[in-house]
Structures are given as structure tokens and as C-alpha cells.
Structure 1
Amino acid sequence: MKLARVSAVLVAVALAPAVLLPSSASAAETTDGNQPLGVSAPDAAPEDEPAPAASASTEQEDRAAAQAILSDPASGPHLREAAGKALAGTAQDVRHFLESGQYSARDTDDRIRVSQIIHQGGPAVQKAGQAAMNGTIEDVRQFLAVGQYVARESDDRLRVSQLVEAGGPGVRAAGLAALEGTIEEVRQFLEVGQYVARESDDRVRLVQIISAGGPAVQEAGKAAFNGTAEDVRKFLEVGQYAARDSDDLVRAAQIESRGGPEVKKAAAAAFNGTIQDIRDFLATGQYVAAAKDKAAAEAASAAKEKAAAEAAAQVQPAGGVQPASLTASVAAAAAAAAPTTAAPSAVATTVASGSALAATGAGPALPWEVGGAAAALGLGAAMVVTARRRSADER
């Protein structure tokens, strides 16, 4: 009995510390902290490691930067293409584009841009652009930023000088004034001033053409003058030539109608050819043909005169006897001075002389020669008749 009681006391003594100590520790920890005893607190994250939320923010910023490059109107085709491919890929693709890919794409676009400027530019721009293309990427960008504009100014001034040399009075005056001014004045002349001055010159030229042209040219020129600057320009470039063709054809027809055989022949050949053949006929051909016609007419006249002279020489008899025409004149004069008994013979002689005159061609064509000869012969005949009377009286 006593042994059982002793054993129970020993067990209670042994278990008392184990029960009391956890209770006091639990009360202490509950008072000092928020965690109950026996529960471990979670480990704190290191301060130098980025949180997952921060990593997502960086990717969004990269994509926004790549999208801005893609949307920029100043971006070249290769740069936009590279940005689009990066945005379609992973975050690493976007980061690679921003760190290196965009720069190689920009270099390609810059060189393409220089090539385009060279193709469209003047001599100075082409020379400076080609030098940049043969250099580094810095040379290319320097040309795009500065060099192209310096070279373009040189080309613009050269262009104004060419317009001044080829233009009319108005263009020359306006162009020289621009060359003495700033580059802005030079470009204003190239963009606006030259066209205003050219319109003035065109209208002056139009008036000159109207003044010197034929009916068709004058009609078409007046219609253009009353129209727009484009109408004037069209007349100068096309219309005046069509109207001049019409005038030339009319003039050639008029010359043909009043010309001789050679002129008609030359005109017909021109009408069967081109408009240039017509102009050649008007410029030289008509005069060559007219000279031939004149020479032929002179030759025909000379031939007629020679034939008449030969015919007159053929009626002169051998032995120095006077031609029948002269004999008839003498007989007529003698008949006028002789007695009545001689009248029948004189009449017969006169009739015969008429036939002789018709045969030899003498007559109205040479009235003054015949009249003078008849007067002289008539005087001689009177003297002959008088002498004969004296001889008869003496007998």
C-alpha cells in the first residue's frame, strides 16, 4: 500500500516540469510576438533580387519603345520592318532590337536615302552624295544632316544661271535679280518667279509671230492671246506650226496659179511631197523655176526675131535690086506725080506691092521705118518723073 503511494508521487514529480515549462514559454512568446510557440515564421525575401512584378514592367517599357520606333514617320522601311519583327517575338527579341538591331537597320535606311537623293539631285548633290556613300556611316549621316543642303544650293544657283541664259528678256531680268539675293530668293525664282516671267516673254513672242504670220497664224495667235497662259504656251509649241502649214499651202497654190510652166511643175512636185517640200519651194524653188520660165520666154522671143530677120533677108534679090516693098513704094510715089495716063500702071504696081508686103512681113509692125523709106523714095521718084518729062519735051 505504501509502495503504491510512493510510486504515484514520483511520477507526479517527474511530469510536473514538462507540463509547466511549455506553458510558461507559450505565455512569454504570446506576450512578446505575434506568432504562437511552435510555429515558424516565413523567410524574408532578399532586398537585392527583383520581384516578379518589376520584370513584367521592364518588358512593357521595351515593347512601348519598339512600338514608338515602328510608328515614327521618320523611320525608314528597314527600321520599321525590324521593329515589327521584334514586337512579334519574345521579350528577349525586343531587348535585342533596342540594343543593337535598330542601329544596323538605321544604317541601311540612311544609305538608301542617300542613294535616292543622288538619283534626284543635281551635279553637286550627286558628287557629295557619292563621296558620302564611299565613306563611313558618320559620313552618310553628315551628308543627310548638312552636306546635301550645301550641295543643293550650288545646284539651284546653277539651274538659275541656265534659265537666264536660255530665257527671254523677262526671265533673264528676274533670274539675275535672284542670283544676287539669298538662297531663299533663288528658290522662289525656281518655284514661282521663272514661270511668271516666262508668261510675259511668251506673250511678247506671240505678238511678234502674229505680226509676221499669214492669215491662219494671225487667227490662231489672236485666239491664244485672249486665252490662258497655257493656251499661249500651246500655240507657241504646236499651234503656230499647224497654222503656218496652212498658210504655206495657200501661198504655194497662189504662186502655182499665176506661174509659168516651170513654176507650175515645181509647185506640183512640192504638193506631192511633205510640208518641208512646200517650204523649200516657197524659199527657193519658186525662184529657180521662175528664172527658167524667164529664160525660156527670152529664148522664144529671140527665136521669133531671128526668124523674122531671116524671112526679110530671103526677099532681097541677087544683083542689088531693091525689094518689092521698096519698089512698090517708089511706084506709088511715082504714080502720084505722073500724068493720068500712068495711073493704071501705078495701080497695078500698088496692088503688086501689097502682095509683096504681105509676103515679106513688112507692114503695120514697122510703120515708122516704112513711112520714112516711102517718103525718101517718093522724093526720088518725083525727081525721076520730072527728068523723064524734060526728055520728052526736048524730043
Structure 2
Amino acid sequence: MARVSAVVAAAAIAPAVLFSSPAAAADRGASPVNSAGQEDTAGQSDAAAEQDRMTILGMLADKNIGKGLYREAQRALDGGPAAMRHFLEVGQYAARDEDNRFTLFRILENKDTGRVVREAVEAALGGTPEDRVRFLESGWRSAQETDDRIRAMQIYSIGGPRVQAAAYKALRGTAEDVRRFLEVGQYEARAQDEADAEAKRKDEAERKDEAKRKAEEEAARKKPVPDAHGGHTGSGKEAKAEDGAEPAKSGRGAGDGSGSGSGSASGARPASASSSSAVSASAGGDRQLAATGVGPATPWAIGGSAVALTAGAGLVVAARRRTSDGR
């Protein structure tokens, strides 16, 4: 009975042992495959998240990034892989458009913005996000070039000679030439015009001073010269001429007197004639003095000469009488 029981028990457990061993082996072969798949999926997810992080960090490193884009990028980094993926796929475009609108409003606030640029900005603000991007990338350039040329024409119309020449040259050039004229060239040319105007003013002032000086000199030459009795003898030039001519007249008179005296029989007559002429010259009045410009001392000198001549003539007559009486 003991042997039978052992055989029956062995027969009963044999199938369980035989069938259970392949299952265990199958289980041991399947487990490594499932673990590898899960690890690959997790690795790919981590790599994608790291790539998103690097992309966002590159945006933040741009020095021209707008405030809206910077704010949303920081939020995505703090939110994890899902937030970063959502930012890159959807949220960044809304932030960029916010920054674009802010830039357009700042252009409108600038007092130097021209009419053409203003109209283009207003059209972009009223359009789609793509319209705003298109204007900021290329549209503003053509509008600005038009405004620059309009401004250069306005400066040309009111500028000086050098400003007009510089504006004309710029308008015939490129858009960069016009921009340089507006930023630098117009001020250089204006400074040259001011320097030319100052030099012209100085020349005119010098010419006026020279003309005034000549007029004063001419007036001084024509101004009457007062005589000894408070009258006027004419200009200084005429008075000098008359003073130089009067001695010649006096000399001729004296010669005539001496000639008549030499032909007379008596020596007293020439003295009397000279005396009378001297007296008449002295008493001839202020009219002759005023005409010749002779000073007040001249009549006294003439009178003294006449007295001396008269006394000399008397002595000559007395001497002749004594001689005749002696005969």
C-alpha cells in the first residue's frame, strides 16, 4: 500500500511539474522585453523636453526679445515639459503679436514719424498678426524712404544755397544718401551757410564804415573856415589857396609904387603914395580882410610901416631944403 500510494502521488504531480516549467520559462523570457520598451519611451520623452528647454533658453538669450515673449517663456520653463511644449506650439505666437503691437504703438507716439509711416502703422494695427509681422519685417522700410524724401524736399525749399545743394545731391542718390542728409548732411550745410552769411555781413559793415569815413572827410574839406571877425571865408581848401595868392597881389602893388616913385621929381611923393596906399589898405575895411583871410594883426603891421615911411620921407625933404638953403 505504501508503494502504491507513492506511485499514485508521483503520477498526480507529474503533469503539474511538467506544464509549469515552460510557463515559468516563458515568463522569464517576456519580462526583459517589456522593461526595455518602457525605458526607451521615458528616454525619448526626457530628450524632447530637454530640446524644448534649450529652444526656449535660446529665445531668452536674444537681446531684442519683447517683454511679452520673455514673460511667457519664463512661465513655460517653470511649468515643466508639457508647458514648454504648449508654449512652443501655441503660446509664443500670441506673445510675439503682443510685442509687435507694442512696437507699432511706440512708432505712432514718436513725433518725428512721417505721414506715410503713420498710415502704414495704422493699417497694420487694424489687420491680422501676419500683417503686423509683415510691416515690421519689410513694410516700414518703403514707407520710411518715402517720408525721408518728402522731408528732404521740404528742407530744400527753405534752405540756404549750401543746404539746397546738399539736398539736391541726396535726392538724386539712394535711400541711404537721403537718410544721411537728414541725420548729418543738412546740419553741416546749414553751418556753412551761416558762416557765409556772417562773412557777408562783415563785408557790408566794412563797406558802410568806409563810405561813412569818406563822406565825413569830404564834409570836413567843404566846411567854411571862420575869419578873424566871425565871418566865413569858405572851405579850408579855398582859404589856403587865397592865402597863397594875396602876397603876390601885394608884391605887385609895392612894385608899382616903387616904379612911380623912381620917376618923380620929389622923393616925398612916393612916401606919401605908399603911406596913403598903406592907410587905404588898413582902412579898406573888413571886406578886404575877409576876402583874403588875413589875420587881425595885419592892419597894425601895415600902419606901422606907413608911419615909418612917412617919417623917412620927412627927413629926406628936410635934408634937401637945407642943401638948397646952403646953396
- TM-score normalized with structure 1 length: 0.46
Q: 2:103 aligns with which of 109, 113, 134?
A: 113
Q: Contact (CA 8 Å) 2:148, 2:179: kept in 1 or not? A: no
- CA drift of 1:366 comes to 5.4
Over residues 252-310 of structure 1, what are the superposed CA-to-partner deviations in whole Å (9 max), with x where a residue is unaligned? xxxxxxxxxxxxxxxxxxxxxxxxxxx4x964897499579939964x5599999369x
Which one of 1, 4, 9 corresponds to residue 18 of structure 1? 9
Q: Distance in 2 between matches of 1:45 and 1:63?
A: 29
1:83, CA displacement in angstroms?
A: 1.9
Equivalent position SS for 1:35: helix
2:137 is aligned with 1:140: no
Deviation at residue 121 of structure 1 after TM alignment: 4.5
Identity of aligned residues (%): 24
Structure 1 residues without counterparts, runs of 5 or longer: 1-8, 179-184, 203-232, 252-278, 310-331, 368-395
CA contact (8 A) 1:161 1:175 kept: no
2:96 counterpart SS class: helix
Q: 1:354 aligns with which of 278, 281, 284?
A: 281
**1:173 CA displacement:** 6.0
Post-superposition offset of 1:105: 2.0
Map of 1:294 onto structure 2: 219
Offset at residue 190 of structure 1 (A): 2.7
> Could you tell me which residue of structure 2 aligns to residue 35 of structure 1?
24
CA shift, 1:95, in A, is 3.4
Cα gap change, 1:108 to 1:289, in 2 (>3 Å) = farther
Residue 175 (structure 2) pairs with residue 187 (structure 1): yes
Cα shift at 1:149: 2.5
Aligned equivalents of 1:83 and 1:72: distance in 2? 12
User: Is contact 2:149-2:178 (8 Å) kept?
Assistant: no
The separation in 2 between residues aligned to 1:66 and 1:295, in whole angstroms, is: 94
Q: 1:131 to 1:294 in 2, by over 3 A?
A: farther
- Match among 58, 67, 72 for residue 57 of structure 2: 67
The 1:121/1:194 distance shift into structure 2, 3 A limit, reads closer
Question: Is contact 1:78-1:105 (8 Å) kept?
Answer: yes
**CA shift for structure 1 position 148:** 1.1
Contact 2:114 2:144 in 1 (8 A): yes
Instruction: Kindly state the Cα deviation for residue 80 of structure 1 after the two structures are TM-superposed.
Output: 3.3
What's the counterpart of residue 236 of structure 2? none
Aligned-partner Cα distance in 1 for 2:229–2:290: 16
**Where in structure 2 are the equivalents of 1:48-197 lying within 5 Å?**
51-72=41-62, 75-118=65-108, 119=110, 121-162=113-154, 165=157, 166=159, 168=162, 171=166, 174-175=169-170, 178=172, 185-190=173-178
Q: Is the 8 A contact 2:120 2:143 kept in 1?
A: yes
- d(CA) in 1 for partners of 2:290, 2:64: 107
TM-score of the superposition, structure 2-length normalised? 0.53
Q: Which residue of 2 aligns with 1:307?
A: 231
User: What is the CA distance between 1:55 and its match in structure 2?
Assistant: 3.7
> Partners in 2 of 1:307 and 1:43 — Cα distance?
146
Distance change in 2, residues 1:194/1:114 (3 Å): closer
Contact 1:160 1:186 in 2 (8 A): no
Tell me the distance in 1 between the aligned counterparts of 2:168 and 2:115.
25
SS in 2 for 1:106: helix
| CA distance in structure 2 between the partners assigned to 1:304 and 1:89 by the alignment | 119
